[in-house]
Amino acid sequence: MKNIAILGSTGSIGTQALDVIEEQHEHFQVEVLTAANNCDLLIEQALKFKPNAVVICNEDHFDKVRDALWQHDIKVYAGQEALSQVVEMEEIDIVLTALVGFAGLKPTMAAIRAGKHIALANKETLVVAGEIVTKAAQEAGVNIYPVDSEHSAIFQCMAGEWSNPIEKIYLTASGGPFRGKTRDELARVTKAQALKHPNWDMGAKITIDSASMMNKGLEVIEAKWLFNLKNEQIDVVVHPQSIIHSVVQFEDGSMKAQMGLPDMKLPIQYALAYPQRLKASFPRFNFADYAALHFEAPDLKTFRNLQLAFDALEKGGNAPCVLNAANEVAVAAFLNDEVGFLEMSDLIERTLQEVTFITNPTLEQLFESDTAAREASQRLMV
């Protein structure tokens, strides 16, 4: 029985993780649940799974959550700092970081320092501070299990191959709802159109990132640190069906791919149960339903966010941190109808030019770079 802490239990990954835990109740137990604002769903989840503790980050909701749970012997904490404190609980075996954006970095680092294994669904943690996070995990003897479907695929392909060097990896991308569109067409797309992903059911932020292909750019940077790769060992291929989740190519030219229907519950369960594969009720792939699988190169000129991510990876230092912060501001602005779809890339590019470059940033300097990038992005929108 593994005790699980879910940071971000009311989001898309968090709710699907709880579905997995409910089905695999003989293997997993919920120890901690946290939410940013959705106190009603957090209360509902806590009453069902009976965790040891919950955290509501928005302190305005503390009284409501406490009043609903105190008689069930569930501890209730509030505030951002509580996230970093609660992951240190002795009973926790694995921390599933399912928070959105930069907010995942601090509690993930706290969990690593406390010796907790990490199931990582928060790619921004490694985008912003990959070298620092992976070094801390190595020093603490902590494993980071990837939850993103693409990185989980690479991880699964590497099983039994740890002593065999990787020549190259291919991260697959669906291409999102606007694959094949021209820049003129993208200039007119709406928020509603961007939020309709053809294959995956995800939260708003990651869905917009997928539509702009920034999500794939962030995954490229994440992959570098997860699998200790050189920049030139990482490539992206567009695969509209989302059946092949990623590919590893070895030095003899052999390639291994992980396949399956697009369902995040599978990589979530694999990360939580590793090294076991637990029998599950997930839908099965049927070859007869897919007469052909298609692949194409990404359009880096139309979807500039992916090129910006490659450029930030090549530059290194605090550039990926600035990229991530600018993107979070840009996506929020797009969702609030403050900028157009293509204008997000323009804003990110200008922010990268504006913020002071640091070659070897400390963790503190990365927090400062994040703040500076957000301030610059807001200023450049005016």
pLDDT (tens place) for every residue of the chain, 382 residues total: 999 999 999 999 999 999 999 999 999 999 999 999 999 999 999 999 999 999 999 999 999 999 999 999 999 999 999 999 999 999 999 999 999 888 899 999 999 999 999 999 999 999 999 999 999 999 999 999 999 999 999 999 999 999 999 999 999 999 989 999 999 999 999 999 999 877 766 778 889 999 999 999 999 999 999 999 999 999 999 999 999 999 999 999 999 999 999 999 999 999 999 999 999 999 999 999 999 999 999 999 999 999 999 999 999 999 999 999 999 999 999 999 999 999 999 999 999 999 999 999 999 999 999 999 999 999 998 7
The CATH class for the domain spanning 316-382 reads mainly alpha
CA distances from 280 to 17, 94, 180, 258, 287 (A): 13, 20, 36, 17, 20
* pLDDT given for residue 101 in this prediction: 86
* Strand 244-250 with 255-259, pairing: antiparallel
Q: Which residue type sits at 322?
A: V
Contacts of 271 (CB under 8 A, 6+ apart): 96, 119, 120, 145, 146, 147, 152
Residue ranges of the chain that CATH labels 1.10.1740.10: 316-382
* pLDDT given for residue 145 in this prediction: 98
Q: Which residue type sits at 378?
A: Q
Per DSSP, 211 falls in state: H
Whole-model pTM: value is: 0.94
- Strand residue runs (E) in the chain: 2-7, 28-35, 53-56, 75-78, 94-97, 117-120, 144-146, 166-173, 234-238, 244-250, 255-259
* pLDDT given for residue 196 in this prediction: 85
Residue ranges of the chain that CATH labels 3.40.50.720: 2-146
* pLDDT given for residue 363 in this prediction: 96
Q: Which residue type sits at 32?
A: V
Q: Domain 2-146: what homologous superfamily?
A: NAD(P)-binding Rossmann-like Domain (3.40.50.720)
Half-sphere exposure in the Cβ direction for 79 (13 Å, CA): 5
* pLDDT given for residue 371 in this prediction: 97
* pLDDT given for residue 23 in this prediction: 97
